[in-house]
Amino acid sequence: MTAIPPEVLQALASMTGYDRMLETDRIAAKYGVTGEWIEQKLGEAHQMTQQSPASFIPESKEAPTLPSSATVLQKQNFRFEYDPSIEASQRRQNVEQAILCPACGVALGIPAVRPIRVTCPQCLAETTFQS
């Protein structure tokens, strides 16, 4: 059994539903562990992030800024075709980066325009990305 890299676990944590189940099975086979063990590690990591102090104060009117050490992912690893509308297709053409939401960890596809204010579709947290 080899250690699973944290980047792999982060990418897995950002997935949901059937995609997460398939990826868990693939990772379990690749690293010689069980799917239950992976889910346990993801649960432990989630609990640790919940215990850390929040950097966003809800009373504040300003959105938090992302530090320069943003978690940038390869956008090719994600599917953005869940919305078949023409407007969504045009927005997908502008996506140049995939970044994890600092509040909930879901992957966000964003263009290269900076600064950019993004509202996470999962947790509705607003974040301004500077770099």
CB neighbours of 128 closer than 8 A, spacing ≥ 6? Answer: 63, 64, 65, 66, 115, 116, 117, 118
Residues 121 and 79 reside in one and the same domain? yes
Quick check: is 1 in a domain?
Answer: no
Quick check: is 104 in a domain?
Answer: yes
Residues 77 and 125 reside in one and the same domain? yes
Q: What is the pTM of this model?
A: 0.40
11, exposed or middle or buried, with CB in 10 Å at 0-12, 13-18, 19+?
buried
Q: Which of 73, 60, 68 is CA-nearest to residue 109?
A: 73
Do the beta carbons of residue 107 and residue 14 sit within 8 Å?
Answer: yes
Quick check: is 79 in a domain?
Answer: yes
CA dist., res. 60 & res. 38, Å (int):
36
Task: Give me the pLDDT at residue 96, please.
Answer: 82
Quick check: is 112 in a domain?
Answer: yes
Quick check: is 25 in a domain?
Answer: yes
**Tokens at 62, concatenated:** 């300003």
Structural domain tally of the chain? 2
Residues 15 and 47 reside in one and the same domain? yes
Residues 60-106 have pLDDT tens digits of 444 444 444 467 766 666 665 667 788 877 877 888 888 888 888 88
Residues 11-61 have pLDDT tens digits of 888 888 888 889 989 988 988 888 888 888 888 876 666 554 444 444 444
Residues 110 and 80 reside in one and the same domain? yes
Quick check: is 60 in a domain?
Answer: no
Quick check: is 63 in a domain?
Answer: no
DSSP bridge partners of 110: 97
From residue 34, alpha-carbon distances to 23, 27, 28, 41 in Å are: 12, 9, 5, 11
Quick check: is 67 in a domain?
Answer: no
Task: Give me the pLDDT at residue 12, please.
Answer: 87
Residues 122 and 87 reside in one and the same domain? yes
What domain range includes position 30? 6-51
- Looking at residue 28, its amino acid is A
Residues 34 and 76 reside in one and the same domain? no
